Amino acid sequence: MGYALFNILVFPGLLFLSLFGMLAEFADRKIYARLQNRVGPPWYQPEADFIKLLAKEEIVPADADRAVFRFLPVVALTAVVCSSIYIPLWSRSALYSFEGDVIVVLYLLTLPTLTFFLAGWYSNSLFAALGAVRALTQLFAYEVPLFMGILAPAIVASSWSLSGVAQFYGAHPAYWIFNLPGFVVCLVALQGKLERLPFDIPDAETEIVGGTFTEYSGRLLAFFRMTIDVELVVGSALLAAVFFPFGLGLPPVAGFILFLGKVLFIVTLLAVFRTVMARMRIDQMVEFCWKYLSTAALFQVLISLAVKGVILG
């Protein structure tokens, strides 16, 4: 019991993930800045921002539902932290696993977006409501390709558990090559999930001010921002576990360093992705996801079925 609590609260749970999330945010911001010919923030900037927000006054709009408004950031953070315990981070098995946990992880990673929607909706503000509707519209666009992309490697592995997938690819190391189209699809969908450029439509500041978070301030906003940081790490770790399943048998320290490297590599890709893009309009985003991204995801599923039928057959 004590050990489980340590896992959930300290390592690799809440404390580790928040610190790693902030490190990832720093890496993201620094790369973004360097690519834009700027100096970029110092390494402690995310921590400083977080502490500053904690100290700020917390304003709840008079018309908002007070309890829901204050409760939502906690739900969002809890959901993303929970999802991490089913993801194999640096060994072949996650902390806890069961057949079907990949669905649970995807579900838990959808919860933050739903809380963003509710947060915007319960703020009872025009800009927040617009952002909320956009967040939900966007969710339906990227979620299907993301699910198909993540599940395709699981089809090959014949296991709907992330640890099972890791074990399969540990035994058949070369197979990850077949999943590369799915990796690209999931990278784009993850960018949408994290609401980053070019998919930062729900909080496009030049259009709808702060979007879903317009009315949030102080501690509550700090927790939402930390949720996004942790989601960045957990999302990248999920992609790393599914698409880069090599080196999982290494000794703990080397494996841990490899894990950090993999996640930071994916964060780098995401940062470059947002540097070279302009924001899409919501109609363009939905069209792009259904027309091209879903097609590419289906293509990946076909490849997986072919691999399973022909090679493993």
Partner 1 sequence: MAKVTIPFGPQHPALKEPERFDLTILGERIVRLNARLGYNHRGIEKACEQRSYISALYLIERICGICSHSHATAFVQCVEEIAGLEVPARARYIRTLIAELERMHSHLLWLGVAGHEIGFDTLLMYTWRDREVVMDLLAALTGNRVNYGINTIGGVRRDVSPEQCAEILRGIDTLEERTKYYMQLATEDAMLAERLVAVGSLCTEDAARLGAVGPVARASNLNQDVRRDDPYAAYGELDFKVITDTHCDVYGRVLVRVGELMESCRIICQVLSNLPEGPIAVKAPRKIPAGEALTRYEAPRGEDVHYVRGNGTERPERVKVRAPTLANVQAVSKMLENNYLADMPIVLAAIDPCFSCTDRAVVVREAGCVEQRMDWKALRLYGIEWYRKNRGIDCSKIKLRM
Q: In angstroms, what is the minimal distance from the CB of 166 to partner 1?
A: 36
Q: In angstroms, what is the minimal distance from the CB of 61 to partner 1?
A: 16
Residue identified by tokens 């493993």 is 312
* Residue closer to partner 1, measured from CB, 129 or 156: 129
Q: In angstroms, what is the minimal distance from the CB of 210 to partner 1?
A: 8
* Residue closer to partner 1, measured from CB, 45 or 275: 275
* Residue closer to partner 1, measured from CB, 91 or 125: 125
Burial class (CB in 10 A: 0-12, 13-18, 19+), 229: buried
Distance of alpha carbon 66 from the chain centroid: 28
Q: In angstroms, what is the minimal distance from the CB of 137 to partner 1?
A: 9
Residue identified by tokens 């993850």 is 190
Q: In angstroms, what is the minimal distance from the CB of 204 to partner 1?
A: 6
Q: Which residues contribute to the site for partner 1 (CB under 8 A)? A: 35-38, 126-127, 130, 197-198, 200-201, 204-209, 275-284
Q: In angstroms, what is the minimal distance from the CB of 277 to partner 1?
A: 6
Q: In angstroms, what is the minimal distance from the CB of 260 to partner 1?
A: 27
Distance CA 300, CA 305 (A): 9
Q: How many residues does the chain have?
A: 313
Q: Kindly tell me the sign of the dihedral angle through the C-alpha atoms of 200, 47, 53, 17.
A: positive
Distance CA 159, CA 102 (A): 9
* Residue closer to partner 1, measured from CB, 158 or 284: 284
- Angstrom distances, CA of residue 36 to CA of 30, 44, 99, 275: 10, 20, 45, 8
Q: Which residues contact 90 (CB under 8 A, 6 or more apart)?
A: 248, 250, 252, 255, 256, 258, 259
* Residue closer to partner 1, measured from CB, 131 or 149: 131
**In contact, 80 and 108? CB cutoff 8 Å:** yes
Nearest to 203 by CA among 113, 267, 266, 291: 113
Q: In angstroms, what is the minimal distance from the CB of 196 to partner 1?
A: 10
* Residue closer to partner 1, measured from CB, 47 or 207: 207
DSSP letter, residue 93: S
* Residue closer to partner 1, measured from CB, 50 or 127: 127
Burial class (CB in 10 A: 0-12, 13-18, 19+), 137: middle
Q: Where are the alpha helices (DSSP H) in 245-293?
A: 252-275, 282-288
* Residue closer to partner 1, measured from CB, 38 or 56: 38
